[in-house]
């Protein structure tokens, strides 16, 4: 099979790729200090919202056995309703600070705002 291991253009390809990655990273950073709310179902990320830049109300209905409704509005995110029995998720209230977390155990749904600087939360 003909061909060389490495040519000039290879370095170009690698260079472009690295620059592209850095650009992606930069734009993804969303600026220092933005509160990014993440909704995960069964540990899988299903939705991500930048609470500091969103303008209109967003309603999220994750695909779970329980009718969970999550609302992100005015820079806050919260469980609006859920058909689970204890509704601790709803009782947790509005999340607005980094690290704030609300969990619906039966629906295996977790809503949390990233950037919380602690390793763990005790409660």
Applying CB under 8 A, the residues found at the interface with other proteins are 1-7, 9-10, 12-14, 17-18, 20-22, 24-25, 28, 38, 43-48, 85-86, 92-103, 105, 108, 110, 116-123
Helix (H, G, I), strand (E, B) or coil at 111: strand
Nearer to other proteins, 8 or 57 (CB): 8
Minimum CB–partner distance for residue 60 and other proteins (Å): 10
Minimum CB–partner distance for residue 6 and other proteins (Å): 4
Minimum CB–partner distance for residue 123 and other proteins (Å): 4
* Cα 101 to Cα 94: distance, rounded to the nearest angstrom: 9
Nearer to other proteins, 16 or 67 (CB): 16
Q: Is the dihedral of CA 50, 51, 55, 56 positive or negative?
A: positive
Q: Is the dihedral of CA 34, 35, 39, 40 positive or negative?
A: positive
Q: Is the dihedral of CA 78, 35, 109, 64 positive or negative?
A: positive
Nearer to other proteins, 67 or 97 (CB): 97
């Amino acid at each position: 099979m003909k061909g060389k291991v490495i040519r000039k253009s290879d370095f170009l390809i690698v260079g472009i790729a690295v620059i592209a990655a850095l650009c992606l990273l930069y734009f993804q950073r969303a600026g220092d200090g933005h509160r990014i709310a993440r909704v995960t179902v069964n540990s899988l990320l299903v939705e991500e919202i930048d609470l500091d830049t969103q303008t209109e109300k967003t309603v999220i209905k994750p695909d779970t056995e329980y009718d969970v409704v999550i609302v992100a509005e005015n820079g806050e995110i919260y469980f609006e309703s859920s058909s689970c029995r204890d509704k601790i998720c709803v009782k947790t209230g509005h999340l607005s600070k980094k690290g704030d977390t609300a969990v619906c155990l039966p629906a295996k749904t977790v809503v949390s705002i990233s950037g919380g600087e602690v390793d763990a939360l005790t409660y």
